[in-house]
Amino acid sequence: MDEQNYTDLLKKVKSSVQKREEMKRFQIPKPETITEGKLTIIKNFRDIVGVINRDESHIYKYLIKQFGLSGDVADGRLIFKGKPPEGSIEKAFQEYLRIYVQCYECGNFDTEMIRENRNELIRCKACGAERPLFAHKEIKYTEGKIEEGKTYDLEITDLNRDGDGISIKGDTTVIIPGAKKGQKVTVRIDRIRKNYALGILVKKA
């Protein structure tokens, strides 16, 4: 290996390590909630939005749709007219990150939402991967973690850059080679990684 190739390889390794460290450090502030009568208030909503780096109204609309509540944003606080299920607010923010922020390819959170030919896409600034947004994903409050070797019935909601099917089960993004968007499939979990799981297509509905 000549010196130039070695230098280029070393730069790539350093860049990869740096990206992994950035992913480990990324975290949003814990939602600070209070209850006033029938209202539930996230006091630090604007601080959380600033870290997520998405439009405030987009996150607000996502949250109220998930909980089926009306609400408003005032003075940097998000006010729900009602009470979301216990522990669900923090989980809803994590779900938003997975759908609208995190890169499916490298797991990085340094991404942007763009519009291309009337379609909204998530573009990763770290690896350059792009993926289309799917319209709606409900929060699954009671689903447990998936396990290797077990089979699950899933619906393919998206495709990654390589054309593999993507589904979300509980807190985990599952990648299923050979599956197509819109299909309902039975999948056996082959491997579980930090940010995703790999599934084997067993049966199509």
Fold category of 143-205 in CATH: OB fold (Dihydrolipoamide Acetyltransferase, E2P) (2.40.50)
**3 state SS for the chain:** CCHHHHHHHHHHHHHHHHHHHHHHHCCCCCCCEEEECCEEEECCHHHHHHHHCCCHHHHHHHHHHHHCCCEEEECCEEEEECCCCCCHHHHHHHHHHHHHCCCCCCCCCCEEEEEECCEEEEEECCCCCEEECCCCCCCCCCCCCCCCCCEEEEECCEECCCCCEEEEECCEEEEECCCCCCCEEEEEEEEECCCCEEEEEEEEC
Percent of the chain with pLDDT over 90: 40
Kindly report the pTM of this predicted structure: 0.57
Read off the pLDDT band of 34 (50, 70, 90). Answer: very high
Residue 54 pLDDT: 93
pLDDT of residue 121: 87
pLDDT tens digits, one per residue of 167-205: 888 768 889 999 998 899 999 999 887 667 899 999 886
- Residue, of 53 and 42, whose pLDDT is higher: 42
Mean pLDDT of the chain: 81
Residue 137 has pLDDT above 80, yes or no: no
33-100 and 143-205: identical CATH topology: no
> Would you list the domain boundaries of the chain?
33-100, 143-205
Which pLDDT score is estimated for 138?
41
CATH of domain 33-100: 3.30.70.3150
